[in-house]
Amino acid sequence: MGLAINRAVAVDETASDAELVALALDGSEPAVRVLVQRHNRQLFRVARGVMRDNAEAEDVVQEAYVRAFTALAGFRGEASFATWLTRIALNEALGRQRRRRPTADLSEIENYNGASQERVIMFPMSTSTAGPESEADRGHVRRVLERAVDELPDAYRMVFVLRDVEGLSTEETAERLSIQPGTAKTRLHRARRLLRRAIERTLAPQFSELFPFGGQRCGAMVDRVVDRVFEATRRSR
């Protein structure tokens, strides 16, 4: 059943989800807008984690919102509104994925057994203002990471996106995915380990190019050395 939209009622953007849902049920368009804006990023990242395509993820999020707000009267508050939305988006994304291609059996994913002694690779990110070269470098690192995340098995990718990308707690992640916290921890550990392997495979061919010293820097060094050598030679005569 659709909402009777009332565009005139202003809302407090700091209001809780529960308060905004109540207003939305009364037809408050501003409340709907605040809710959408508040949850857009998380829903997009969840959908992107399943679909691995930006455009398809946007379609999933849009459809999830339509489904949610046209069935808002059915929201009972047994879980948080964010969890309810996330599950709707996940169901929409997974449904599209199943129609598009078969998925791996979850038991095969859970039985993955990697090298237990591998450590997680971490990538420190600077938030300070940087020039075009630094921005390009960060863009390259982001693309490497995004490709590596896209290659993760679905179950691991979803936990990684919610925990390490979106920053949810283990308990919040488990709630949204309807799994146990222990399962979320295990999948996150395995996701990080697989990411480390994938990133190493991508970057290993570039190790020989680290700390370059060529071009103008090399030429300037040659000039300085030659000048000093000849200066020293002249003085020794």
Q: Any idea which of 52-56, 188-192, 197-201, 216-220 has the lowest mean pLDDT? A: 216-220
Residue 5 is assigned to a structural domain of this protein: no
pLDDT of residue 174: 95
Residue 175 is assigned to a structural domain of this protein: yes
pLDDT of residue 108: 39
Other residues' Cβ atoms within 10 Å of the Cβ of residue 78: 7
State whether 121 and 196 are in the same domain.
Answer: yes
State whether 148 and 236 are in the same domain.
Answer: yes
pLDDT of residue 12: 87
**Number of domains the chain contains:** 2
User: pLDDT tens digits, residue range 69-88?
Assistant: 998 988 988 889 999 999 99
Quote the CA–CA distance of 160 and 153 in Å, as a whole number.
11
Q: What is the mean pLDDT of the chain?
A: 78
Residue with the larger pLDDT of the pair 62 and 123: 62
State whether 61 and 175 are in the same domain.
Answer: no
State both tokens at 75: 């929201």
The range of the structural domain enclosing residue 47 comes to 17-105
State whether 69 and 120 are in the same domain.
Answer: no
State whether 119 and 21 are in the same domain.
Answer: no
State whether 26 and 54 are in the same domain.
Answer: yes
Please determine, for residue 113, whether its predicted confidence score (pLDDT) is greater than 90.
no
**Amino acid letter, 190:** R
The structure's pTM equals 0.63
What is the CATH classification number for the domain harbouring 224?
A: 1.10.10.10
State whether 146 and 195 are in the same domain.
Answer: yes
Please determine, for residue 18, whether its predicted confidence score (pLDDT) is greater than 90.
yes
Residue 3 is assigned to a structural domain of this protein: no
State whether 87 and 155 are in the same domain.
Answer: no
What is the CATH classification number for the domain harbouring 82?
A: 1.10.1740.10
Residue 142: band (very low, low, confident or very high) from pLDDT cuts 50, 70, 90: confident
State whether 24 and 47 are in the same domain.
Answer: yes
Mean pLDDT for the stretch of residues 36-40: 92
Instruction: Name the percent of the chain lying above pLDDT 70.
Output: 69
Residue 105: band (very low, low, confident or very high) from pLDDT cuts 50, 70, 90: very low
State whether 53 and 100 are in the same domain.
Answer: yes
